[in-house]
Amino acid sequence: MAQKTALIVYAHQSPASFNAAARDVAVEALKEQGYKVLVSDLYAMNFKAVATAEDIKGKLKDPEHFRYNEETSIALKDGRLCDDITEEQNKIKQAELVIFQFPLYWFSVPAIMKGWIDRVLTQGFAYTLGNMYDNGMLKGKKALLSITTGGMESMYQHDGLNGDINVLLWPLQSGVLHFCGFEVLAPQIFWSPAHCPPPVRTSLLEAWRERVNGLMAEKHLSFAPLEYFDLTFQGGFRIRPEVKEKCASQLHGISTAHHLGKPLPPDNQTKAK
């Protein structure tokens, strides 16, 4: 049997950080299971975070009006994407599992990881206008956000100071990972490790190791399937009337963003059900 492969996309500046420790635990646990583990250490790589025309070798189709998605899609077909993008795409091609390890910055990913998302998940590689969400081009692969927060867990509740963590995670988990076809596993959230005593940090990492040992058997998060939507311009790509009618008697909406004006389904972006 071919060796299984996992990719860890890692973004933290310090090798002494909790994020680095979480990365190392995942690497060790996956290798013990027989995985080949690839790590993209974005800061160490000095990964370019800005999507520009420099990402394309050779002539542009329309240098007067540069459209990044269109130009990189053409360049992908012609083998003219720059080397660092091609290298990361080759890692994804190999991987059954992709783990994103990072600290939550301004309710999102660090800029260098956003640049990785912008530049690596190109049109034609991760998605097309006809291949997205359930049919995204990375279908069959699993992905997971493993994040650290500055605030304690209570701050990210629906009545907490920072707001519901499910809302914060939706753009990344649905708008990026699910959009590209990944099966999205429940996130690994390390709540405020910088403010935890060493024994607590150790226990957090031990629990993470145990989880990594069983990751591939976990159920993935649920999202509204494409069949729920009228995927035509006439229908506005909106949820079909019969689906809305079926959901009318339900207490909660379908998902965090497709809530249909109802209360958000609890833990929709944090627990698989």
Is there a single domain that holds both residue 174 and residue 266? no
Q: Are residues 177 and 242 in the same domain?
A: no
Same domain, 179 and 229: no
Which helix H or strand E contains 264, and what residues bound it?
A: none
Q: Identify the domain boundary among 202, 221, 240.
A: 221
For residue 1, name the pLDDT band (cuts at 50, 70, 90): low
Other Cβ atoms closer than 10 A to 226: 12
Q: Note whether 134 and 267 are same-domain residues.
A: no
pLDDT tens track for 8-28: 999 999 999 999 999 999 999
Does 141 share its domain with 242? no
- Report pLDDT for 238: 93
pLDDT at 172 over 70: yes
Q: 57 is written with which tokens?
A: 């070798």
Query: Whose CA is closest to 224, among 247, 201, 192, 199?
Result: 247
In 3D space, the residue among 70, 52, 48, 51 whose CA is nearest the CA of residue 61 turns out to be 70
* pLDDT bracket for residue 227 (50, 70, 90): very high
Q: What is the dihedral of CA 18, 218, 115, 38, to 10 degrees?
A: 70
Burial 89-106 (b: 16+ CB within 10 A, else e): bebbeebebbbbbbbbee
- Taking the model in full, what pTM does it have? 0.95
One domain, residues 243 and 205: no
How many domains does the structure of the chain reveal? 2
The predicted pLDDT at position 273 comes to: 86
- Statement to judge: residues 147 and 13 lie in one domain: yes
Question: Helices 198-213 and 18-32, interaxial angle, to 10°?
Answer: 30
Looking at every residue in the chain, the average pLDDT score rounds to 95
User: Based on the domain organization, do 273 and 207 belong to the same domain?
Assistant: no
Query: Which range marks the domain in which residue 247 is found?
Result: 224-273
